[in-house]
Chain A
């Protein structure tokens, strides 16, 4: 019972203080709103980039065509050898009959021209998936070196460039988020410091009449929490509505059909919860820093 009373008093005092020092808290809330908004944007970009990268990496395979009239045994031997190469994740054989079926389904022109031949003019092939896209080129070179390979290629170079560009964007986003989180917690810490200052006589009396340390600290910790939570409301709303509108506007794709955006649900729910969590944690850390430093208890 007493714990509940202490807790509810802490929350009440926190709200009181937030409204009493309105201009000060508005500044802190605005700052955390802006920060969390940028955090949200960074998170959305970073998550989308990661999803696009994974998508692209899935598509990035090496296709090696074998010379005409390679025997099935030779193909199987080659497959085993390539599997032993480093950076190779999987090797599958895709023979000419499979290609024929696939191409016929793909286009009417292909169908007509393929039907023209009595014998299948296509080449047998092996499809190689790699572990690390960064070393795609070298692995392709190694495969090309085999005698029975007529040619080996991987997806467009453009795709490779996109992947590495996205990699840089993602790293940048992470650094930015970390920096902003730091800045916001300092701002909240500063706000709490000022409320501690404005309530110092109250704190002094509380301590003189025998309030426990928790009783003295709790309102400030809650105040930080309230600031963080209030600061996360607008970013959450903008994230939810903004992302849905953005997703619908682009129809889920960006530039190429290859670059798919992450579907809004449940993605934005996770982002919102994460924003709320970051907001409250930043708020509490910020106020804890001040409480520890300026209350000296």
Chain B
């Protein structure tokens, strides 16, 4: 089953920069995909189109049956409820505790507090932060903050988890931990994960599908690939 289907997709920004050119791509349900490429290669644009922060200029981007290109602003929330997003800069609310930060995602979509509690605790447990529910973000390490961000992204049990350089601000050890958590989520809940990254070591070790973008063009799509694979090409 195709979770993501991208056909003849172009993205040209208003200033004339072509960020994505003629992209064709399908991603199946349950896959773990790395998106790699240098800065300015179109990684972020691709990621942002998946959650409709950017709109394709041409072609179609279908995520979970919704055509992002045709999605009206007022209906964007329907897409966003199907997916979770993890950011490089965490985007946690400093005045809320860990629990409240995760619960905020469910409150925002109008869920009642009885339903919220077990879901939040389950999500925090799967990222190993159950003991820190009462802590505030500034009392946590970077890795822990990123785990809160992951818990918030998966609390609504999305089919797709989009990670935009989730380890970009973290040291190698912590990065490994985070990727391990993502891998567990992928295996345990069969959640599709797309992760944009610069981290060669992680990509090489994980042996997952790798998409290589160069100047907005998809130049490599390797199953069980790695940086090495494309370097040897």
A binding-site residues for B, Cβ under 8 Å: 1-2, 5-6, 9, 201-202, 204-213, 215, 297
Contacts and interface: CB of A to CB of B under 8 A. Distances in A.
Contact of A211 (B85, B93, B109, B152): B109
A210 B153 CA distance: 11
B73 A209 contact: no
A210 B108 contact: yes
Contacts of B191: none
Grouping DSSP codes into helix (H, G, I), strand (E, B) and loop, the B interface class, with mixed when no group exceeds half, is: helix
Interface string B74-113: 1011111110010000010100000000001101111010
In the A-B complex, list the 10 residue pairs whose CB atoms are closest, starting with the nearest: A210-B80, A210-B81, A211-B108, A209-B105, A206-B108, A210-B77, A212-B77, A6-B110, A2-B110, A209-B108
A7 to B, nearest CB: 10
B34 interface: no
B80 A207 contact: yes
Nearest to A20: B95
Nearest to B80: A210
Given A2-B110, A205-B104, A213-B74, 19 more contacts: A1-B112, A9-B107, A9-B110, A202-B93, A204-B91, A206-B104, A207-B76, A208-B80, A209-B81, A209-B85, A209-B108, A209-B156, A210-B77, A210-B80, A210-B81, A210-B108, A210-B109, A211-B109, A213-B77
A2, A204, A210, A215 pick with most chain B CB within 10 angstroms: A210
Nearest to B82: A210
A222 B51 CA distance: 29
A186 to B, nearest CB: 26
A205 B107 CA distance: 12
A189 B215 CA distance: 44
A111 B79 CA distance: 94
Grouping DSSP codes into helix (H, G, I), strand (E, B) and loop, the A interface class, with mixed when no group exceeds half, is: helix
A205 B26 CA distance: 28
A85 B35 CA distance: 92
B17 to A, nearest CB: 22
B62 to A, nearest CB: 18
Given A2-B110, A5-B112, A205-B104, A211 B77 contact: yes
Given A297-B73, A297-B74, A209 B91 contact: no
Chain B interface size, as a band, is 20 to 34
B109 A201 contact: no
Contacts of A212: 77, 109-110
A6 B77 CA distance: 15
B74, B78, B107, B108 pick with most chain A CB within 10 angstroms: B108
A31 to B, nearest CB: 28
Nearest to A199: B93
5 contacts: A9-B110, A206-B108, A208-B51, A209-B80, A209-B152
Contact of A209 (B78, B109, B112): B109
A204 B76 CA distance: 13
A204 to B, nearest CB: 7
Nearest to A211: B108
B186 to A, nearest CB: 20
Contacts of A6: 110
A65 B203 CA distance: 112
Contacts of A215: 108-110
Contacts of A2: 110
A5 B108 CA distance: 11
A205 B109 CA distance: 11
A205 B110 contact: no
Nearest to B158: A210
B74, B77, B109 pick with most chain A CB within 10 angstroms: B77
Contacts of B104: 205-206, 209
Contacts of B108: 205-206, 209-211, 215
Contacts of B74: 213, 297
Contacts of B112: 1, 5
B146 to A, nearest CB: 15
A201 B80 contact: no
Interface string B110-139: 101000000000000000000000000000
